[in-house]
Amino acid sequence: MLDVLGLDDLEERVYRRLVSVPSESVGMLVSTLAAETSALMAALERLEDKGLVARSMAAPEHFVASPPAVALGSLIVQRQEDVRRAQVELAELTEQYRGSAAERTVNDVVDVVQGPQAVAQRFGQLQRGARRQVQALVKSQIAVVSPEDNDQEDVALSRGVTYEVVLERSAFDRPGFADLVQESVAAGEQLRVIGEVPLRMMVADRHLGLLPLQEATDDRGAGALLVHPSGLLDAMLALFDLVWVQASPLVMSGSKPHIDDDAADRIDDTDARVLALLLAGLTDHAIGSQLGVSLRTVQRRVHRLMDRTRTTTRFQLGHEATRRGWLATG
C-alpha cells in the first residue's frame, strides 16, 4: 500500500511494526519480521533518511516511528508536487507533439511495433493511458495477450474508463469463456457479439489505435501498427462504430445474467443464462458447452420458455423475455 510513497516491502513492514509499538530493538524487529539483520538495518537507515523512524532517546538501540500524519503526510505532499510537475511537463510535451503533428508525413502517422513482447507492451500502455474510453474488436483466436491475462483492463475499469468490446461469436467455443465474459460485464465492460469481426483492433479515447498485423508464427513474425490521429485512425473508428451497431448486446450482468427482482414471473439462473447466450447468437450446442449441460437440456429449456411466453420463434422469445424484465438490456 505504501509503495506509492516509495517504500519497499520491508520498509513498510518495519514502519507498520514500529507504529504499533512504543519502540523496538533491532533484534526484536529481526525476530518479529523474520528478516535478515543486514537487510533490516539497511531498511531502518532508509526509513531514517525519509524521516519515518528515529532512534529512541531513552534507549539508543531501540527505534521509534515518526507520527504518520507528519511523516507520511510530507511524503504525500512531495509525491503530489512530483505529479504536478509531471503534469506541467506533459502539457508542454503535448503542445510540442501537436505542433509537429501538422508537419507529419504519411510515414509518421503510424509506428511499427515488432515482436510479441513489444506488441503486448503497447497493448498494456494503451489501456493504462486511456482516460475515458477503450474500444476493441476481438477475434476468437488469442493474439499476443489472452483475455485472462489482460489485467490492465480491470485496472482501467476501476479508474472509470469505459470499455466497448465486440466479440467474435466463435470465441464462445472455448470452454469456460462465458464465465470470463460474465466477470468482465460485472466489472462494467459493455460487450456485444457478432458472427465475425473483420479484424483485430483497439482504440483508446478515439485518439490512438493499435492494429495488429499478420498473426505471429515466431518472435519475429508478430507485429502491429500504433496509429496516430489520421485518416487511417478515422477509418478504424468508422469500422468499429459500424460493427458495434450490427452486433448483438450481451445482456449478462454480474455473476449471472441480470434478472429483474420485481418481475412477476421470475426464471431461474440457468434459464437466464440460456437466454443471455441465445440472444448473443450462440447455437444450442455452444450454449450447452458453456453451461456444462447437454444439447437436449438446452433445447428443452428453450422450448419450455417459448411455451411459457406463448411465442413461436426464438426472436419473439427474446423480445418477450426483455419485456417481462427477465433480462436487462441496459
Q: Dump pLDDT digits (tens) for 262-292.
A: 444 567 778 888 888 887 778 888 888 878 8
Residue 42, Cα to own-chain centre: how many angstroms? 37
Q: Flag whether 96 is in a domain.
A: yes
Mean pLDDT across the stretch 90-104?
68
CB of 11 within 8 A of CB of 29?
no
First to last CA, the chain: 35
Which pLDDT value is given to residue 145? 67
Looking at the structure, do residues 123 and 243 belong to the same domain, yes or no? yes
* Residue 56 exposure: Cα atoms within 13 Å on the Cβ side: 14
Q: Flag whether 328 is in a domain.
A: no
pLDDT, tens digit, 9 for 90 and up, residues 27-48:
889 898 998 999 999 999 998 8
Which pLDDT value is given to residue 85? 84
CATH of the domain at 95: 1.10.10.10
Residue owning grid cell 509518421: 108
**Distance (Å) of CA 187 to CA 13, 131, 152, 273:** 31, 17, 12, 18
Q: Flag whether 167 is in a domain.
A: yes
Query: CA–CA separation, 141 vs 88, rounded Å?
Result: 42
Q: Considering 103, 122, 157, which residue would you say is the last residue of a domain?
A: 103
Which pLDDT value is given to residue 235? 92
pLDDT classification of 259: cutoffs 50, 70, 90: very low
Residues with Cβ < 8 Å from 141, sequence gap 6 or more? 215
Q: Flag whether 24 is in a domain.
A: yes
Residues with Cβ < 8 Å from 66, sequence gap 6 or more? 51, 52, 53, 54
Residues listed for the chain: 330
Phi, psi at 122, each rounded to 5°: -65, -35
Alpha helices in 213-283 (DSSP H): 231-246, 269-279
Q: Flag whether 289 is in a domain.
A: yes
Q: Which of 190, 186, 321, 194 is nearest to 259 (CA)?
A: 321
Looking at the structure, do residues 217 and 150 belong to the same domain, yes or no? yes
Looking at the structure, do residues 246 and 117 belong to the same domain, yes or no? yes
Give the angle subtended at the CA of 214 by the CAs of 169 and 250, to the nearest 5°: 20
Task: Tell me the residue range of the domain where 68 lies.
Answer: 1-103
pLDDT, tens digit, 9 for 90 and up, residues 286-322:
888 878 888 888 888 888 888 888 888 877 787 777 7
Q: Flag whether 88 is in a domain.
A: yes
Number of folded domains in the chain?
3
Mean pLDDT in the chain?
A: 80
Q: Flag whether 192 is in a domain.
A: yes
CATH of the domain at 228: 3.30.870.10
Which of 97-111, 175-189, 199-213 is predicted with the least confidence, judged by mean pLDDT?
Answer: 97-111
Q: Considering 250, 269, 294, which residue would you say is the last residue of a domain?
A: 250
CB of 236 within 8 A of CB of 197?
no
Q: Considering 62, 79, 103, which residue would you say is the last residue of a domain?
A: 103
Q: Flag whether 108 is in a domain.
A: no
pLDDT classification of 218: cutoffs 50, 70, 90: very low
SS3 content of the chain, % helix, strand, coil (to 5): 50, 15, 30
Which pLDDT value is given to residue 321? 76
Residue owning grid cell 482504440: 203
Question: What torsion do the CA atoms of 302, 303, 309, 314 make, to the nearest 10 degrees?
Answer: 60
